[in-house]
Amino acid sequence: MRGGGRQRVRTARNRTAASTRWLERQLNDPYVRRAKAEGYRSRAAYKLLELDEKFGLLKGARRIVDLGVAPGGWAQVARKRVPAANVVGIDLLPTDPIDGVTLFQMDFTAEDAPERLRDALGGPADLVMSDMAANTVGHAQTDHLRTMALVEAAAWFAIETLRPGGGFIAKVLAGGADNDLVALLKREFTTVKHAKPPASRKESSEWYVIAQGFKGRADDAPPADG
């Protein structure tokens, strides 16, 4: 976007220096401007777009689960890339309706949440996406453990929900997924990789783990002929 140069934000009454810096960063973020121009609800949409370009996550997907769907950027990308797909999303926060997306406002870790998501899917998922992160408390180790607990829960949901050959993507923090989680994913998927898309801010600690080629269970395989 040409012209105008970098925008500065004056510190207003009742606005902290931190919030001023955040607002200034938002105003000068090309992904924020692009999202607004292209109708996406958040700059996070471009993280999924870039990861899909690299890994082909959405190709041929018919049933997609979006964990941590709010405000809806990833679900919008899924609908745009595969318009015929059945997309189901869940988040503690409210999410404005998205055409063709079934939304649940509830805690993903609630006992009945996984079954409600599966019922809405109507069959095994092709892709489980998780952009969930725990609310931070300011203590790095605690924040990491809380977020990784969510990632692990999402991974087990994926293992119990995906069709053979399906994929799983989840946001993790700096350093990637924990060793135990990586070992689990490597047992269950053909390939497991970490990536940081260009749309993820350099100063951000977030990375994504991408697991593809779900091996499935023996009872998931189609019956043999004869």
Element (H, E) at 81: helix 73-81
**Hey, CA dihedral for 117, 182, 75, 203, is it positive or negative?**
positive
Beta strand 189-195 with 207-214 is: antiparallel
Known catalytic residues are 171
Beta strand 189-195 with 101-105 is: unpaired
Q: Which of 55, 120, 61 is nearest to 85 (CA)?
A: 61
How many Cα atoms sit within 13 Å of 188 on the Cβ side?
A: 22
Give the C-alpha separation, 11 to 219, whole Å.
62
